[in-house]
Structure 1
Amino acid sequence: MGVVGQPEDVALVRIAARMAEIVGLMRTIVLLQYRPMIASSFGQSDFRQLQRYTKIMVSLFLVGGLPIAIAMWIWSSSILLYFDPAFAGNDWVVRFYLLGILAMLIMGPTNAVLSMCDRESVASKNLLQSLGVKVILNLILMPFLGALGCAISSFVSLVFLGFLGRAGVRKALNLETSILVYFKNSDEKY
């Protein structure tokens, strides 16, 4: 953004990204607490417990992040005005960042589960592919849309990362890490 954007766009992107990170803060806290339990369950080949942990984590992600995201969605304009009146009317920059973080909350602890269950290479590939999508979209969108283009590319890359991670966990471990875990048959064999 700093190369192709105006200083105002750079500031707006930084503020919007930090606002969205507040929503993702609960995700980070939960991941710190549950990573050892994920690794332990995997080490003991207890996939039922691993599935239970992922279900709890998705619940905590949503309970902790969704109210903050809704509040920021509603009052994004007011929050931006606090930083600079020139940011008025840029609600969708913040909202696209929020949507990206919400997508990660809904998809659950995908890359953390992959990393803690001996699938670090899959998690790394997912991150690299998502980064590639973000860079390409940034190069395409930012010259025309500025900060909004950057926000859209972040949203798309986070959604892409979530889907890649979910697919990787399903394939490698036969676990559901997304909100769809609530619709999974609890008697399913592992």
Structure 2
Amino acid sequence: MIKSILQLMRRDVTRGVVGTILLKVGSGALAFALFSLAARTMSPDGFGIFATWLSVAQIAAVVGLVGQESLLVRFLNEYQVGDRPDLTKGVLLSSFKITSIAMLIVIAGIAIAANMRGDGWLLILAVSAYTAANAGVMLGSQIARSLVSILTGEGNREFFWRVIVVLFLLAMLLGHRQLDPAELMAVMTIAISVGLVAQIVSIARVLPDLRGTPARSETSRWRSSALHFWLASILEAANQYFDVILVYWMLDPVTAGIYFAASRLANIFAMLSAALYTFGARRLPSLYFSKNHQEFERTLQLMAEVTALCVVAGLAMIWIGGPYLLNLFGPHFTAQHSVLIVLAIGTAIQAAGGPSAAILQLTGHERIYVPVVAANVALRLVGFLILIPWLGVLGAAISATVSLALATIALNVLCRRRTGVDPSILVLLRFSALKRRNYAVRGADSSD
């Protein structure tokens, strides 16, 4: 077994997947440190309000991007393979224009809604600024990932800026200073803006000189794809963050903070899914559009092997170490170990399903992806309305897990039917069966 693992790690694709996963795990560890320290430096109500507004800001950033971040991944790869700098310039200019206008509208909406709720102007300003900066770094990471590297794109989006915030929170904790949500949102905005500037500089250095290149447009293709990408992105963001808002609305800020903490811990598997998407979004489109089917399937197989190892290890860690991890947020979080386990099962199933969503979206089948995610959100909402009054926060976790598992199964079935590719870890069973069959054939031939 050890020999097989060592052989696996020597493969170039495996190293790329593992490197991406390590980046995501490091980012997740920093996010965990950030949120646990925030819980320690805030009152229970304050942390619940912070978690809720952070969830609102994340969804708002996705709404304001209007699907342009996914559209750039889709078309920058295609135009690079096809050597079309005119269309590359056209899609970049179009995306910048659309997102700038949309973000102004979204930020205005946040400010109006917060003012109607009676929130202070400092919190309104902090949430609005964070939404804009977060949207900018999300868009920049997609361009940097395609043109520079995964480290530049994802590192500045999820890793480096969190180091600054964690150090700040450590200083506040050691100084026995209690923060309010507006202060932490402001610090996060400043830190993430540093990452955005680093992305802009790195992209400017590698971007081809397009000043003399006339921009060409494929408006109808971009509009059609962007609409489906936008709907999918909104629904995905709702899957991740709308739960906290609903728990806040149906229960109270303290419970919302508890659910937020448990869901962030369960996201160890969501980090794996995000890492697979990040790696797949950089490697799979170019293989698909260049019709390199053998390498395409080889990449998926190796991704499945790494995923299987990570899922088993992650479930063991949540089962054994969950109470200790929850205690880092505060003693009253520890009692929710069952909620954490239920949420972890759902995200583990999603990770085991592989990058089916990425494959469907990046190979031109984004239209069928949207109804599945919409059904997932609707089912989760119905489950919340039924189970939360009955089981409280555990009911929310059960609803989230069931809806996520059903959506994962549906996406994998669609992916196999539309693309002929099985992205889940079940593909390993097929390869294992083929190997046994080949060995049996070779044995029969040698006996003859």
TM > 0.5: yes
8 Å CA contact 2:342–2:398 kept in 1: the answer is yes
Residue in 1 aligned with 2:307? Answer: 61
Q: Which deviates more, 155-164 or 75-84?
A: 75-84
Q: Distance in 2 between matches of 1:23 and 1:109?
A: 13
Residue in 2 aligned with 1:88? Answer: 334
| Count of residues in Structure 1 that have an aligned counterpart in Structure 2 | 187
Aligned residue for 1:3, secondary structure, equals helix
CA pair 36-85 structure 1, distance change in 2 beyond 3 A:
closer
CA pair 61-140 structure 1, distance change in 2 beyond 3 A:
same
The answer for unaligned runs of 5 or more in structure 2 is 1-246, 436-448
Residue in 2 aligned with 1:157? Answer: 403
8 Å CA contact 1:57–1:109 kept in 2: the answer is no
Match of 2:358 among 91, 101, 112: 112
Residue in 2 aligned with 1:45? Answer: 291
Residue identity in the other structure for 2:357: N
Match of 1:177 among 400, 420, 423: 423
User: Displacement, 1:146?
Assistant: 1.5
8 Å CA contact 1:26–1:61 kept in 2: the answer is yes
Q: Distance in 2 between matches of 1:123 and 1:51?
A: 21
Residue in 1 aligned with 2:263? Answer: 17
Q: Distance in 2 between matches of 1:31 and 1:148?
A: 29
Q: Deviations over 1:17-69 (max 9, x none)?
A: 11012332233223212213221222233444332222222222333444233
Residue identity in the other structure for 2:339: V
More helix by share: 2
Aligned residue for 1:36, secondary structure, equals helix
8 Å CA contact 1:9–1:146 kept in 2: the answer is no
Q: Deviations over 1:118-166 (max 9, x none)?
A: 1111122221111111111111111111111111111112101210110
Q: Distance in 1 between matches of 2:301 and 2:369?
A: 20
Residue identity in the other structure for 2:423: T
Q: Distance in 1 between matches of 2:251 and 2:305?
A: 38
Report sequence identity in percent.
Answer: 21
The CA RMSD over aligned residues, in Å, is 2.0
Residue in 1 aligned with 2:281? Answer: 35
Residue in 1 aligned with 2:13? Answer: none
Q: Distance in 2 between matches of 1:129 and 1:51?
A: 29
Match of 2:321 among 59, 62, 75: 75
Residue identity in the other structure for 1:27: S
Q: Deviations over 1:87-113 (max 9, x none)?
A: 333211101111111101111111111
Q: Which has the higher contact order (CA 8 A, sep 6+)?
A: 1
Q: Distance in 1 between matches of 2:313 and 2:378?
A: 31
Q: Distance in 2 between matches of 1:106 and 1:26?
A: 9
Q: Which has the larger radius of gyration?
A: 2
Q: Deviations over 1:73-95 (max 9, x none)?
A: 21212222232222333211101
8 Å CA contact 1:23–1:66 kept in 2: the answer is no
User: Displacement, 1:181?
Assistant: 0.4
Residue identity in the other structure for 2:413: A
Q: Which deviates more, 107-116 or 15-24?
A: 15-24
Aligned residue for 1:118, secondary structure, equals coil
Residue in 1 aligned with 2:249? Answer: 3
Q: Distance in 2 between matches of 1:171 and 1:23?
A: 25
Q: Distance in 2 between matches of 1:109 and 1:118?
A: 15
8 Å CA contact 1:38–1:117 kept in 2: the answer is no
The answer for unaligned runs of 5 or more in structure 1 is none
Q: Which deviates more, 128-137 or 45-54?
A: 45-54
CA pair 70-145 structure 1, distance change in 2 beyond 3 A:
same
